[in-house]
Chains A and B, each alone.
Chain A
């Protein structure tokens, strides 16, 4: 707990750094330095999230969830083309609609299914973890 508090206490310093970086971003005339500053700012902006993840008591759950998210994203981007080509093309139905999906044979629901799996997976993961936790409690 002490470490977590210490991280939280370090936040004013991060805030100070962020403010300086932000001011520099507007003042500096050099575009290439602005790119580095932008990345630096993004890291600083993400800092609170990291603290928050570590602070929550059951953080291993969140960590599991975080790895599942990265895993899903990875799987999706590595195999996207293969999944797309393996799925049947969009059907041209009774109204004879030929849009992008039908003309280029793009599987109609692919994006929706994949995207909503990525977006909604935390709900499923937390429900499952809760379920396992209950099972374990019963065993004890």
Chain B
């Protein structure tokens, strides 16, 4: 019966397209082994997440994982691999369904599908398409149904959509949550577009009912995931995971303006402005003449805006260029209809369309993800191990370290998580200090070091690519402090420094081996605080209270005289500086201790009428308590210094 239906003319094209795409992407099924071609932060994390799934660790509960179960367990069982393989052909036939619904010209629908497939094949890559394509496809189908049923959308349709995205939380959580947000936005937009003043009450009632139906259905669809979380004691961690997501945006933020000039971003900006301009013009002026293509454009516009806000935090432009291409296909269709009205030769129009497609794929120069990661043929039964070996073979240092550390658990700092695989060890909840940037995450990593009785720290002193130019000592000050206070330098192997746990209390700066590593020493004593003192002064100077003051706005020589005469330790001390107006771009302080150490601190000038605040315990030299001897103002610019004893240091950075 099913086969009979499939081979009916109505479904035959879907079936054939499904088969064709499945064949073209079959290498993902025949051998689901992914080779991550570059030794990058992302690649290493992906390999270690695969390893974590293999050893039975659960996402959210045992380790931080931002995506869904579908990709987490993709190599852990063949059923999941099969589902992942099916995703691309299913998405492509969803797009065929959308295109056939929106483009009355069937030929246009088919060549648009081919254009999309080629773009994904050569530029976006199926890995990325499987992720963001889900959202785009779901929104497209939802728009088609909204348009088809106009005012009276059957509750069952809304219910099915709600259930579907609810169930998706189990598989691809981020896309499911985005879909939910966008469906609500689309329902509201639909309500506004169909709104008639004389039917206000009825329209509001319909919108309310649809919204409630969607939310209830989503809740029902979410139930399996909820039960899973409940049964595995992961529910609390899952809720915490959501609060953590807001912190991700804080530490992931990089300037968008610099990346705005990439080909991908320029294309997205132009096509985005054009699409938004066109659709807002049409909705405002020709509300009664909206077509299904206009609805689809509205949906795409929402997807575009949602993903662009993500891109503004940290550019993902190169991953979402295919959404720009989808916007182009729909905009071009409007143009296509306009030209057909003027009886322009259809062949030449398709030729023009083809020119665009060729330009997108081969000329414009979008960033291509089609080869990273790529699938490859292997006879190995353990793809994950083979992947690790391929990564390790690029650098002999790993095997040398494996030989040197014969026993005891290791901790990788700031984060080369491949070591946990190499030492057959359970990785920490946050794989690197990048994800572990918030203070509570650092505390969790410290807890891991204590619980796992870590004997060795493998310190990568060179790789700063994961830290956006923020030094380790600044980003992960708590963790850095714990490591330097509890571990001692042993030797270096390649770019890695090997630190061993202290059996007795030791001073890291008094370790004679430190002198063999002048660069490391310099990194620990020459501290560039950049904007932190000015930011702390701007936002937190009101937290300082007079009763905690040792010295209140005294000249620096008065402070130094007192420091020399009295024994004032660095414990819980906060230094507050006021400066003269200056044109200098960087200021510098030198702080000396009575045990012969000194540290240079660079910082940006304080903001007008605000002091600069430096929490001394955050400087590596003061990770251990030391007696202060003097503070030297290298720029001769400080007008007054205050020294506060602060018992609640967590108020400051």
Q: A residues engaging B (CB < 8 A)?
A: 5, 8-9, 11-12, 14-16, 18-19, 22, 25-26, 38, 41, 45, 48-49, 52, 55, 58, 61-62, 65, 69, 80, 88-106, 108, 111-112, 115-116, 118-120, 122-123, 126-127, 130
Contacts and interface: CB of A to CB of B under 8 A. Distances in A.
A89 B475 CA distance: 17
A22 B531 contact: no
Interface of B: 247, 250-257, 269, 272-274, 276-277, 280-281, 284-285, 305, 308-309, 312-313, 335, 338-339, 342, 344-345, 348-349, 351-352, 355-356, 358-359, 362-363, 437-440, 468-470, 474-475, 477-478, 530-532, 534-536, 538-539, 604, 607, 650, 652-653
Nearest to A122: B277
B277 A65 contact: yes
B247 A126 contact: no
Nearest to B253: A101
B253 A100 contact: yes
Given A38-B363, A126-B280, A100 B254 contact: yes
Contact of B438 (A9, A15, A95): A95
A111 B531 contact: no
A103 B530 contact: yes
Given A102-B535, A104-B531, A119-B308, A52 B276 contact: no
21 contacts: A11-B348, A12-B348, A15-B348, A19-B355, A38-B363, A48-B352, A61-B281, A69-B277, A88-B535, A89-B607, A92-B535, A97-B247, A97-B437, A99-B437, A99-B468, A100-B469, A101-B254, A103-B475, A118-B269, A119-B308, A127-B280
A19 B352 CA distance: 8
Contacts of A41: 359, 363
Contact of B250 (A15, A16, A101, A126): A101
Contact of A89 (B250, B305, B312, B535): B535
A5 B536 CA distance: 64
Nearest to A114: B257
Nearest to B349: A15
Chain A contact residues: helix, strand, loop or mixed: helix
Given A48-B335, A90-B535, A106 B475 contact: no
A7 to B, nearest CB: 10
A119 B534 contact: no
A127 B272 contact: no
A116 B312 CA distance: 10
Chain B contact residues: helix, strand, loop or mixed: helix
Given A65-B277, A95-B440, A101-B253, 8 more contacts: A49-B274, A90-B250, A98-B470, A99-B253, A100-B251, A102-B251, A105-B535, A115-B256
Contacts of A52: 335, 338
A97 B284 contact: no
Contacts of B272: 119
B355 A119 contact: no
Given A112-B309, A119-B272, A126-B284, A95 B439 contact: yes
Nearest first, the 9 closest Cβ-Cβ pairs linking A and B are A105-B531, A99-B251, A111-B256, A122-B277, A95-B438, A96-B439, A100-B468, A123-B280, A101-B253
A25 B229 CA distance: 56
From A18, A38, A103, A112, name the one whose CB has the most chain B CB atoms within 10 angstroms: A103
A122 B359 contact: no
B279 to A, nearest CB: 9
Contacts of B276: 119-120, 122-123
A119 B538 CA distance: 32
A105 to B, nearest CB: 3
Contact of A18 (B254, B355, B437, B530): B355
A53 B240 CA distance: 50
Contact of A45 (B273, B356, B538): B356
Given A105-B604, A122-B273, A58 B352 contact: no
A58 B280 CA distance: 14
A5 B343 CA distance: 10
Contact of A104 (B338, B359, B469, B478): B469
Given A99-B468, A99-B475, A105 B530 contact: yes
Contacts of B538: 88-89
A137 to B, nearest CB: 14
Contacts of B536: 92
Nearest to B341: A8
B607 A119 contact: no
B264 to A, nearest CB: 14
Contacts of B344: 8-9, 11-12
Contacts of A119: 269, 272-273, 276, 305, 308
Given A9-B342, A119-B305, A127-B284, A89 B531 contact: yes
A115 B255 CA distance: 12
Contacts of A126: 277, 280-281, 284-285
Contacts of A18: 352, 355
Contacts of A92: 532, 535-536, 539, 652-653
